[in-house]
Amino acid sequence: MRTFAKVLAVSAVAALTLTGCGRGSDSGTTSGSGSGATSGAAAGFPANSLIGVALPQKTSENWVLAEGLFNDGLKKAGFTPDVQFANGGVSEQQNQIQSMVTKGAKVIVVGAIDGSQLGTQVKAAKASGATVIAYDRLLLNTNDVDYYVAFDNFKVGQLQGQALLDGMKAKKPNGPYNIELFAGSPDDANAKVFFDGAMDILKPKIADGTLKVVSGQTDFNQAVTQGWKAENAQKRMDTLISANYTSTELDGVLSPNDTLARAILQSVNQAGKPVPIVTGQDSEVESVKSIMAGVQYSTINKDTNKLVAQTITMLQALQKGDKPETNDTKSYNNGVKVVPAFLLPPVIVTKANAKEAYANNPTLLAIVNAAG
Ligand code: BGC
């Protein structure tokens, strides 16, 4: 159960942590326009309008999948898509959004590299009458975001924390267990939420001595992986092993996603250490293979098809001048407002349930079946 707001922490630069506001501060009904006032929503817009989709860098497979799904899905729905990656970083993404505004996009869907660096651009989008939807990652410290569509990020973290515990217990029924903690990139609004979700499960076990973080690095800021880059996670794991695990057993590692899980496992492998329980997220092909081979322990299934389809459903409502459906108006406080959200449920996947979890995904199901 979520007992507190997924109040988001913030830009690494500002190192500002927002606390206290959020959950419970908005018990009202679903809001179509939010406090930022959407002028475009009530009127609707022509069916073939330009829809901008600003995606971040290709830091995991889900983003790559989203590109194709948005292009195809938007065209099929009659819209004119403008889907862009910002591999060059924040300023490229800022320019892309500005240019979508200039081209007259009616809705701009943003998967932010840094959710706190797009205030000027989304302000311009709103001033032009466009609706702004935060996709997968929340936009922070701005009133100019109307909706959020994502998998429940806090739940993702909780599932990862629980999987770490379950995996270690299945291997060695009694603790204490030696673990290390990894988090995602601090500029990504999701990273802190994933970590907080996991710590919601792990903290009591650290407190009662079941878990021991041997390095002592239990803070988000100590655990982060800049840019979600595999090499950064691998380097940190190398350092953690040589400083703490030359003669101590490592039982488990909390990894926030699959790319980092594989980097962590590579580090352990190169150090000649036994394979610990390592969590993940995204159901990336290489990680599903690794799980079926009994190496990586778990991943999360966040079906990108469903997330893109839900976004397009929201766009279709906006196009008609209707309020898009949301199912959470309390949890995602971006620092200045609670953003009405449509949250999809993430699913934990281990070797044990992979077949059912990927029943509708031919690519992943083939990997599961091939592994027998
Ligand atoms: C997404 C994750 C992904 C990570 C790195 C996050 O914002 O929610 O699914 O692993 O970005 O790309």
Give 259-307 pLDDT, tens digit per residue. Answer: 999 999 999 999 999 999 999 999 999 999 999 999 999 999 999 999 9
Mutate to test the pocket of ligand 1, among 149, 281, 283, 300 (most ligand atoms within 8 A of CB): 281
What are the pocket residues of ligand 1 if the criterion is a CB atom closer than 6 Å to any ligand atom? 59-60, 62-63, 136-137, 184, 188, 190, 228, 257, 281-282
Q: Are strands 177-181 and 211-213 parallel, antiparallel or unpaired?
A: parallel
Q: For residues 196-200, give the mean pLDDT.
A: 98
pLDDT the model gives residue 6:
47
pLDDT above 70 coverage of the chain, percent: 89
pLDDT the model gives residue 43:
75
Ligand 1 midpoint to CA 151 (Å): 11
pLDDT the model gives residue 23:
26
Q: For residues 59-73, give the mean pLDDT.
A: 97
Q: For residues 51-62, give the mean pLDDT.
A: 97
pLDDT the model gives residue 255:
99
The yes-or-no verdict on residue 9 having pLDDT over 80 is: no
Ligand 1 midpoint to CA 262 (Å): 15
pLDDT the model gives residue 285:
97
Atom of ligand 1 nearest to the CA of 62: 9
Ligand 1 midpoint to CA 210 (Å): 29
Ligand 1 midpoint to CA 276 (Å): 23
pLDDT the model gives residue 29:
36
What's the pLDDT band for 7 if we cut at 50, 70, 90?
very low
Q: For residues 186-199, give the mean pLDDT.
A: 97
Atom of ligand 1 nearest to the CA of 258: 10
pLDDT the model gives residue 278:
99
Identify which has the larger pLDDT, 3 or 292: 292
What's the pLDDT band for 372 if we cut at 50, 70, 90?
confident
Atom of ligand 1 nearest to the CA of 228: 5
Mutate to test the pocket of ligand 1, among 57, 61, 62 (most ligand atoms within 8 A of CB): 62
The yes-or-no verdict on residue 18 having pLDDT over 60 is: no
d(CA 255, CA 297): 11
What's the pLDDT band for 338 if we cut at 50, 70, 90?
very high
Average pLDDT over the chain, rounded to an integer:
90
Tell me: the pLDDT tens digits for 346-355? 999 999 999 9
Q: Whose CA is nearest to atom 10 of ligand 1?
A: 257
Atom of ligand 1 nearest to the CA of 111: 7
What's the pLDDT band for 42 if we cut at 50, 70, 90?
low
CATH T-level assignment (fold) for domain 153-302+349-370: Rossmann fold (3.40.50)
The yes-or-no verdict on residue 38 having pLDDT over 80 is: no
The yes-or-no verdict on residue 20 having pLDDT over 70 is: no
Q: Whose CA is nearest to atom 6 of ligand 1?
A: 190
Identify which has the larger pLDDT, 13 or 240: 240
Ligand 1 midpoint to CA 62 (Å): 8
Q: Whose CA is nearest to atom 9 of ligand 1?
A: 282
Tell me: the pLDDT tens digits for 111-164? 999 999 999 999 999 999 999 999 999 999 999 999 999 999 999 999 999 999
What's the pLDDT band for 319 if we cut at 50, 70, 90?
very high
The yes-or-no verdict on residue 310 having pLDDT over 70 is: yes
Domain boundaries, the chain: 4-151+303-344, 153-302+349-370
Atom of ligand 1 nearest to the CA of 57: 12
Ligand 1 midpoint to CA 194 (Å): 10
The yes-or-no verdict on residue 17 having pLDDT over 50 is: no
Q: What is the pTM of this model?
A: 0.90
Ligand 1 midpoint to CA 266 (Å): 20
What's the pLDDT band for 190 if we cut at 50, 70, 90?
very high
Ligand 1 midpoint to CA 60 (Å): 7
Ligand 1 midpoint to CA 63 (Å): 8
The CATH label, of 3.40.50.2300, 3.40.462.20, 1.25.40.10, 3.40.50.720, for the domain at 4-151+303-344 is 3.40.50.2300
